Structure 1
């Protein structure tokens, strides 16, 4: 075992940390692997074992402390581009057939949709411009 240089062991450790990174998709393993590569570089330049372990610890902890919160923030963000029925919410439509609490028809995004009024006591007449507040199945809820 003494015949193999320390930097090789650090690279083996980095590869070993890469396996659970791929299997579990936990980025922390990748950050530890980068720390092991940094320690391998220190070992390659002749740094002692204390320097190697210190570099491994500092680089790994720094990456976890900096990258993990950024990744968590990006993971929590909703997509910027709304698609499907989510893209239709908030759009304006034109009433084609009288719309009230029980139903009617509107033209929304170039298509004819069934619609009903959000306020069941309110009716919209042909030609009125309305706002789509929600989509329930194939029915647009308007106001």
Structure 2
């Protein structure tokens, strides 16, 4: 068994690297990806002919060093900006939209900015094509819009679709 490890250790280190990378994709914690850097370092050590014990030490040292030194810097870059900053679809709430296909409680189409969204009206009757509405919420891939009669003329909804 030890002879096989000495001959094909690169397979083990590559497998460890891939498993740690997959674990990082599932957790997004920035621990596993930095540990996978240690596995790559051990792989390089194997390719240069290092003994198994040295490969394991290199893996541990590099994984620990990257976790201690790089993770805090990476997290600080990820958490830049104000805590209340809106992201993704939350930015669409309150924006104006133009109805492209009549919208009822059963569905329809609107254009928000440059994107076309499926939509449904939040209470009320069907909204005709060409009407300007306001996005009240986003429910999955559907924009929930308010009827023009309840459409507020606020500064946040002043952006055009």
2:11 aligned with 1:8, yes or no?
yes
Give the RMSD, CA atoms, in angstroms: 2.6
Q: Offset at 1:40?
A: 0.9
> In structure 1, what is the equivalent of residue 38 of structure 2?
35
Q: Which residue of 131, 138, 142 maps to 2:154?
A: 138
CA distance in 2, matches of 1:7, 1:17: 15
User: Which residue pairs with 1:24 in the alignment?
Assistant: 27
Number of residue equivalences:
86
Counterpart in the other structure of 1:72 = 75
Distance 1:48 1:63 in 2: 22
Q: Paired residue for 1:93?
A: none
- Residues 56-98 of structure 1, C-alpha deviation per residue, up to 9 Å, x if partnerless? 011111111111111222233216xx898xxxxxxxxxxxxxx
Shift of residue 54 of structure 1?
1.1
More moved, 70-79 vs 35-44? 70-79
Distance 1:20 1:56 in 2: 17
Partner of 2:65: 62
TM-score normalized with structure 1 length: 0.52
Q: Shift in Å at residue 28 of structure 1? A: 1.1
SS for the counterpart of 2:70 is helix
Deviation string 1:73-124 (CA, Å, 9 cap, x unpaired) is 2233216xx898xxxxxxxxxxxxxxxxxxxxxxxxxxxxxxxxxxxxxxxx
Unaligned runs of 5+ in 2: 92-152, 156-161
Q: Distance in 2 between matches of 1:76 and 1:18?
A: 22
Q: Which residues in structure 2 correspond to 1:48-127 (within 5 Å)?
A: 48-78=51-81
